[in-house]
A and B are shown apart, each in its own frame.
Chain A
Amino acid sequence: MRTDIVFRVGGEGGEGVISCGEILTLACARMGLEIYTFRSYPAEIKGGPAMFQVRVSKDILLSQGSEIDVLVCFNQEAYDRHAKDLRKDGKGMIIFDSSSAKPGENINAILYGVPVSEMAKLELRNYLTKNIIFLGILSKLFGVDFSIMEGIIREKFGKKGEAILNLNFQALKAGFQYVEKNLPKKDECQVEAQKNENRLVLSGNQALALGAIQAGMRFYAGYPITPATDIMELLARELPRFGGTVVQAEDEIAAIGMVLGAAFSGAKAMTASSGPGIDLMTEFLGLASMAEVPCVIVDCQRAGPSTGMPTKTEQSDLRHAISAGHGDAPRIVMALSSVEDAFHGMIRAFNYAVRCQMPVIVLSDQYLAQRTATVRKPDVTKVAIEELRKPTDAELEHYKRFTITETGVSPMTTPGMKGGGFAATGIEHDEDCELSYEPDNHRKMSDKRWKKLNLVLQGPDLFKRYGPLEADIGIVGWGSSEGVIREAIAKANDKGYRVAAFHPKILHPIPQELGDFLRSVKVVIVPELNYTGQFAKEIRARFLTDVIQLNKVAGLPFTPNEILAKIEEVAETCLKQTHHHKV
């Protein structure tokens, strides 16, 4: 019996493809299984090809998978579009609407045809029940709990009235019974209920927003942009209940301006956007560095440049995040690596911001932002939250806002504090915040501002290392590719390759330990979802060592097999060559 199953549902937008996938996902999660979804949208709001993928397993899942086990085709186009991604060994399945689709004659797969459109039209007299009929089919074929599905349908359709609810129950039953009567099971896939407690099903954006609230964020300003908007929507709903405010700004410049104002007032404040919006924020980013204002800026990356492909994923904003703006402006750049890390990562982001009194840019991407996964429920009581270093009464007596200290961090007052007044400014200033163009002062204050970066390189959670302690090949990826890389190196290690991975959580400044890792392996592969190899360039510049780039530029995430293929190729070419040279 196979219990690690990748389902993909394809059809026309508006046919209920997405809700079919969502109900399947939630049902599996409620059965105690691990789930990992993958979303890739067309740009159209209505119509256009729709797709939903979910991988289900009883074991922890690290990626969306490489190949599809079960392809559900609502129409012929879905078959034509997705059949190529089906597993090649003949054990994949195609569940299709036999009244509207016909698989190719040479397809090497198990076929389950059901006249779904006909059933919807003739039996149920409502074409919109198609997706629920498919759910009934999936329930019977793979053992997805029927009553759990009924429960989810009740939650989803209950508000629409008894008639609609009953129609959907009938549709679910119709699909189930059709399989029972007509389709003997020909495959070996089955889902089994597991005992897993304290599991949540969260999207990257949801986890990120909740992590920010947990960190103490109480002021959010933003401007809608794909794929970051869900963050603002969740916060708009929940933040007022924490006494916080969400402002929909007139543009991203205003959004970050409001964030700086709120942060100056003492609130933990953030904004979230995507490439085009982050571009607009750059001038304020410099001010935040110069005036030492703690704030958090989330970039849910999408394919660029310019408008690019707004609904597709990419990791191409790294260099912008590190260096955006004129002048030498320090900031911290982090990358979130998984849904679970999105929650905890945001807490670290706010801790860094208040600890260093500087902007923190948090990189996410469409792939992470909009996928859901099962995560362990975080124990919020165990999360350490840092607060701003405010001056003591004694320090307030002759208060200087930018007093030079050993760490570079000066105690910061916020308006309302007696005797703590100062006028923050983007003009170069001295310790007492008086404007200064003196040559020595510019050096001294630049030192002070940059020195603070050292404070993030101490402490845990700077990176993760996976794989054997001694390895020939090292993989250095970043951000949302973490799970895919882990799965790939596990497969590679099974095949006998000695591969380990180093995954930095903070990309600027780069953790020292990356240097040790680079020296410990013979060859390094840097997989990135961008054209130019942005992190590869940073590594070369920082450590004066070359790496092999693996760049995918498709608007889609890596699959484990793509990374595995590169490992095999590198093992064949580079390692043998290295060996040869040594001989």
Chain B
Amino acid sequence: MHPVWCPGCGDFGVLTCIYRMLATKQISPDNLVVIAGIGCSGRLSGYVKSYGFHTVHGRVLPVATGVKTANPGLEVLAVGGDGDAYSIGAGHIPHAARRNIDVCYIVMDNEVYGLTKGQGSATAPQAFSTGTTPYGQMDEPLNPIAMAIAYDIGFVARGFSAKPKELTDLIIQGVEHKGFALIDVFSPCTTFHDTYKPISQRVRFVGPEHDPTDRVKAFQLALEKETIPLGVIYKHERSPFHERSQQIQEQSIAKRGKASVDEILAQYQ
């Protein structure tokens, strides 16, 4: 099925990188669930021939939590735009981080609401003038990478749709990361907010000198003004949610035995 995206849309690049990741990792489409939000990028779940769930606006992470927890054997990929992730659904990010759900979340960030024809999003620059903000955005843009590090997300990375080789590598690392991974991808909107040029001029890949396990250094990178660092910004591992849930199951069975409803009912005699 051919995507409905406009020619030149960054989301084509992201989709291609996801295909490459799937091919490299040999992930079976029967075992993959792509969960998507609402917006241009949300259509992505329909373009991967696997299981998918195109949810309501902003609720990719709760649905992904349910899918992965109920069936931990599945590979769960969450995708959506900056409106989905950082506006309407922003409240779910810290909790996905606290739970450390084993899900890779790819945010296609174009700083604009494309499907409603070009209003500024939470990452739009302040000067950005649009139909709903004719005198420029009144709100300041949020910094998704600094936010993700503050929430202590176990894998925080930034990519660019125009750098597919590196982006594919980031997505592979994000999927391999045991726990919650957030990859913010610059994925420009050629129709309403074409940022290819200014972004291309400012991006740089972080080199081996950066230690992503150093949270303070990661913050420094996230707060950098002159250039935009791409690559893995912050990384650490801890046990994911479904493993802790399995542990609780095992421990409660070890302590109190396997349960039957009949036996619990008898406690109320």
Q: Which residues of A contact B (CB under 8 A)?
A: 198-202, 206, 210, 213-214, 218-219, 221, 238, 240-245, 247, 249-251, 253-267, 269, 283-284, 286-287, 291, 377-378, 380, 413-427, 434-435
Contact = CB atoms under 8 A, between A and B. Distances in A.
Given A415-B31, A416-B74, A426-B55, A202 B63 contact: no
B256 A415 contact: no
Interface string B37-67: 0000000011011111111110101111111
A264 B50 CA distance: 14
Contacts of A210: 261, 264-265
26 contacts: A202-B268, A213-B261, A219-B66, A219-B69, A221-B66, A241-B249, A241-B252, A244-B249, A245-B69, A245-B249, A250-B94, A254-B62, A257-B63, A258-B65, A261-B35, A261-B63, A261-B66, A264-B66, A265-B70, A266-B71, A269-B66, A415-B51, A421-B52, A424-B53, A425-B46, A427-B54
Contact of A423 (B51, B56, B94, B261): B51
Given A201-B268, A415-B31, A283 B70 contact: no
B95 to A, nearest CB: 4
Nearest to B99: A247
B62 A241 contact: no
Contact of B54 (A238, A283, A426): A426
Nearest to B242: A245
Given A240-B252, A425-B46, 20 more contacts: A199-B269, A202-B268, A221-B66, A238-B259, A240-B253, A242-B258, A245-B69, A257-B65, A260-B63, A260-B66, A261-B63, A261-B69, A264-B33, A265-B70, A283-B56, A287-B55, A415-B30, A416-B30, A418-B30, A425-B53
A247 B29 CA distance: 28
Contacts of B61: 254, 257
B136 interface: no
B67 A264 contact: yes
Contacts of B62: 221, 249, 253-258, 261
Contacts of A201: 268-269
Interface in B242-269: 245, 248-249, 251-253, 256-262, 264-266, 268-269
B256 A421 contact: no
A284 B245 contact: no
Nearest to A206: B268
Contacts of B57: 283
Contacts of B141: none
A262 B70 contact: yes
A414 to B, nearest CB: 8
Contacts of B245: 240, 245
B40 to A, nearest CB: 13
B70 to A, nearest CB: 4
Interface residues of B, number: 58
A420 B269 contact: no
A259 B59 CA distance: 12
B56 A241 contact: no
A421 B69 contact: no
B253 A241 contact: yes
B67 A415 contact: yes
A266 B67 CA distance: 9
Contacts of A258: 62-63, 65-66, 69
A417 B33 CA distance: 12
B134 to A, nearest CB: 30
Given A240-B249, A417-B30, A425-B46, A262 B66 contact: yes
B1 interface: yes
Contact of A421 (B49, B248, B253): B49
Given A243-B249, A283-B56, A424-B54, A261 B64 contact: yes
Interface string B216-257: 000000000000000000000000000001001101110011
Nearest to A245: B245
A199 B253 CA distance: 27
B51 A421 contact: yes
Interface string B86-97: 000001101100
A368 B30 CA distance: 44
A435 B47 CA distance: 12
Contacts of A377: 265-266, 269
Given A210-B261, A250-B91, A257 B52 contact: no
A218 B50 CA distance: 25
B8 interface: no
Nearest to A295: B66
B19 to A, nearest CB: 15
A265 B259 contact: no
A218 B72 CA distance: 14
Contacts of B50: 421
B92 A425 contact: no
Contacts of A435: 46
B34 interface: yes
B265 A378 contact: yes
Nearest to B29: A421
Contacts of A266: 70-71
A415 B55 contact: no
Contact of B66 (A263, A283, A416, A419): A263
Contacts of A422: 51-52
Nearest to A236: B248
Contacts of A245: 69-70, 245, 249
